[in-house]
Each structure stands twice: as C-alpha cells, then as structure tokens.
Amino acid sequence: MTSRTDLVEELMSRFPQVPREAVLKEDLLRGGLAFDDAALTDNESGTVKPKSYFIFSFDHRTLPELGTAALRRPPEEVVLTGGPYELRRTVVSVRINPSSPYRVGTDGDGRLRLFLDGRPIADVGLPPMPAYYRHTLANGKSVMEVAPTIQWGYLIYLTAFRVCQYFGAKEECQYCDINHNWRQHKQAGRPYTGVKPVDEVLEALEIIDRYDTDRASQAYTLTGGSITSQVDGLAEADFYGRYAQAIEERFPGRWIGKVVAQALPRADVQRFHDYGIRIYHPNYEVWDKRLFELYCPGKERYVGREEWHRRILDSAEVFGPGNVIPNFVAGIEMAAPHGFASVSEAIDSTATGLEYFMSRGITPRFTTWCPEPTTPLGRANPEGAPLEYHVRLLEVYRATMDANGLSSPPGYGPAGPGRAVFSVSSFMDTLPATPS
Ligand code: SF4
C-alpha cells in the first residue's frame, strides 16, 4: 500500500514548480495532524498561543472526541522548518485529527518535531503567547474570545455573529460547521459569545493596540454567519457595518479593514466602503453551477448564483477590483455525492471560475477544505479531497494570475515560500515573494 510519505514525495517530484512547503501544508490542512499531549498548550495561562476556534471548528473530530486536546488546546498555528525536505519557514493552521499520519511530538533530544508515518520531517515552532492575550476586558472576557489573532498575529479575526441564519439541511452550506461549532463550545461550557457587543470589540482592540508594540497585527476581518432577517434589529450590512464604523472612528487606519459578508446589493456594499472597510469578501464558495446549488442551498435560495456573481462584479466598482477578494472552499468540487469524479474535471471547473474573475481584475482566494465531521460533506468525505487536486490548484491559480497580470492580493501579508503567514491555504506560499 502506498504510504502518505510516498504520496507526498510523488507529488513533490511531479510538480517541482509548486514549493515543497505548499505540498506539505495542503496535506496538513486537508487531513489534519495529531498532537502528543506534551505538545499541547496550557490554554490562556501558558506560554504558547492556543487555538481560538475563531469561526469554524477546523477539526476532524468533535470536541468530546479530541481527548486531552479538548482540555488543553492545541496551538493556533505551527511553523515548520528544515527536515529532509529543507523546508523554508511555513506557517500552518492547526486542524486536529487524532488518526492523522502527521504527528507533532518530541524527538529523542527533546526537540519538537513533525513526524510523518513515524519519521521526523520538520522542526516545529509554536506561536508565543501574545502580550495582549494576557489581559482581560473589564467584564473578565479574554481578548482571545473577543478578538483572536491568526496568521502569526497578522490578522485580527472578529466573528461578530457566531452563528448563521442559513439554518438546517436546506440552507446551511454543506461543508460548514459554524452552527455546530457554536453549540459544541456552549455545551463544553466555554465562553463563546453569540453576538459580540461593539463595546467589547473596541475594548479588546484597545488592548491589542496597546500591547502589540511591534505592530504584527496589520488587518482585521469582520465576519460571521449570514443574516437573512435581522440581528439586534439590524440587517446584514448595518449589523457588520456598525463594527466597521466604530473601529474606524476609534482607530482610523490602524488596521486594514476587511468584511466577509453575503454578496450584497450595491448600496449596502457602498456603506461598507463608506465606513472605512477596504477589502470585501463576497465568497462564492464553489464555481460549478450545479455544485453551488447543491452545496450552498442557502446562498442559492436567498440570492442565487448568477445574482451573487453579478453583485461581486458590482462591488468591484465600489472597492476597486483588486480589493474584492471572494473566497472559495478548495476541495468541495470533489466531494461526494455530487462532486467531480476526476481531478482534471474539478481543476478545469475551478480554473473557469478563476479566469472569470481574474480577467476582470478580481482576485479570488481559497481556503483549504477541512472535512469537519458534523457537516454533510465531511461525513461523506472524511478524507477530504485528493492531495493532487490541491497541488494542481496551486499551479493553475498562479498561472491564471500570471496570465492576467495580477499579483498577490492586498491584506494577506507577505507572499512567497518562507515568507507567507496566511495559514489556512498555501496560495500565498506559492506566489512570488513580495517584501514583508
Ligand atoms: S453562509 Fe454558509 S459558509 Fe457562511 S456561515 Fe453561513 S452556512 Fe457557513
């Protein structure tokens, strides 16, 4: 039987133009990794920055199935270097899978290493606890709960609304566990604020601003579930917009403001821009029409695919095409029961979508699909998509960017192998290096 090491090395040699770091990173993101107990954190009282569960679970098991990792959180990210593949510095978001062939543990010399199939393949660095996580809000809430940072501290992730009003099998995106993640944290008795009060967000940002003295944090993302009716008496644009307005009034230009929201009508998008948001993510999730209808039934029902795309193009007139960065979830193109059966078909479809947007100056980006077990697609596809799909996607993504004269999108930090900090896919590790 082919080992995972064989698969990884075969793809590294078949696609030498894709950085080795990116091949490994994609495999870790799609399939997760296990942690020895000794490599877990001491939560918010330790020296290592713990996983914040900033929006989805991004784990391959539910919390009760994680064993010690449910009590002592894993780190938010790891940084990999060295080893037999001579890895340049590679930041990877942590997605726990106790049965993964990848395991983080200590070697005979007590050094933290990443093992694949039992063989050490990289040195592992852990994110230090940021000074701002050591302070709490006046009401006792932690900064990690209200304003966690990811991407090695680059991005403040503000999930203002921790659930989605696309609800149930007929509306929830079939790969998304936002609602389950909210339930499981509540059931575990963890603090997990459903709607974050604006004042708390501002207070947490003040703490970050005060203690992030080397100014590692460069951007914030305002996001959360879709709002199809109202939250706090506000429709989606006003709900998320009020945070942007308050942040930009209090900290004008301190961070690059980004919003992930539905593809909204132009007047709503204009309001985001007027509040000071600079980057808009109206995520289109998957390009193929049939898969969008089946896997994003709420988006299809409330907006519809063609209208969604039309609004993405409209928003480019408000923000400028370079500042409209819709996400897709890389891998669900191949998810059973309805996904493409071959890698080539899936890549061809994804490439059509990339060309559609990139030829108009809009640069989509992607996160690597994590098949969470409480989602319909995660249950049907616990292994996720083939690694070859992810590697070939990196190739076609870069080629389509090059063909359209585009460079790495703003708001993601430095690009290039050994430099990127974007942790939930390796597209930034694969693009030409930019200055940090
Ligand atoms: S719109 Fe879809 S992906 Fe986004 S939070 Fe709702 S269900 Fe999840």
Question: pLDDT, tens digit, for every residue of 285-317?
Answer: 999 999 999 999 999 999 999 999 999 999 999
* Element spanning 267, H or E: helix 266-275
How many separate domains does the chain show?
A: 2
Is residue 173 within 6 Å of ligand 1 at its C-beta? yes
In this structure, is residue 302 part of a structural domain?
Answer: yes
Q: Do 120 and 148 share a domain, yes or no?
A: no
Per-residue pLDDT at 279: 98
- What domain range is 97 assigned to? 4-125
Question: pLDDT, tens digit, for every residue of 318-357?
Answer: 999 999 999 999 999 999 999 999 999 999 999 999 999 9
Q: Do 397 and 324 share a domain, yes or no?
A: yes
Is residue 260 within 6 Å of ligand 1 at its C-beta? no
In this structure, is residue 11 part of a structural domain?
Answer: yes
In this structure, is residue 184 part of a structural domain?
Answer: yes
Per-residue pLDDT at 1: 72
Q: 382 burial class (0-12, 13-18, 19+ CB within 10 angstroms)?
A: middle
- CATH number of the domain enclosing 208: 3.20.20.70
When the pLDDT of each residue in the chain is averaged and rounded to a whole number, the result is: 96
CA angle 336, 347, 324 (to 5 degrees): 105
Q: Do 95 and 202 share a domain, yes or no?
A: no
Residue 283: closest CA among 436, 57, 55, 97 = 55
Pocket test for ligand 1, best of 54, 58, 174, 178 (most atoms within 8 A of CB): 178
Nearest protein Cα to ligand 1, atom 5: 225
Question: pLDDT, tens digit, for every residue of 54-110?
Answer: 999 999 999 999 999 999 999 999 999 999 999 999 999 999 999 999 999 999 999
In this structure, is residue 139 part of a structural domain?
Answer: no
CA of 135 relative to ligand 1 center, distance in Å: 31
Is residue 261 within 6 Å of ligand 1 at its C-beta? no
Q: Do 82 and 149 share a domain, yes or no?
A: no
In this structure, is residue 133 part of a structural domain?
Answer: no
Q: What is the mean pLDDT of residues 156-181?
A: 95
Is residue 303 within 6 Å of ligand 1 at its C-beta? no
In this structure, is residue 242 part of a structural domain?
Answer: yes
Q: Which residues contact 10 (CB under 8 A, 6 or more apart)?
A: none
Per-residue pLDDT at 12: 98
Q: Do 85 and 179 share a domain, yes or no?
A: no
Question: pLDDT, tens digit, for every residue of 101-145?
Answer: 999 999 999 999 999 999 999 999 999 999 999 999 999 999 999
Nearest protein Cα to ligand 1, atom 2: 173
Per-residue pLDDT at 434: 77
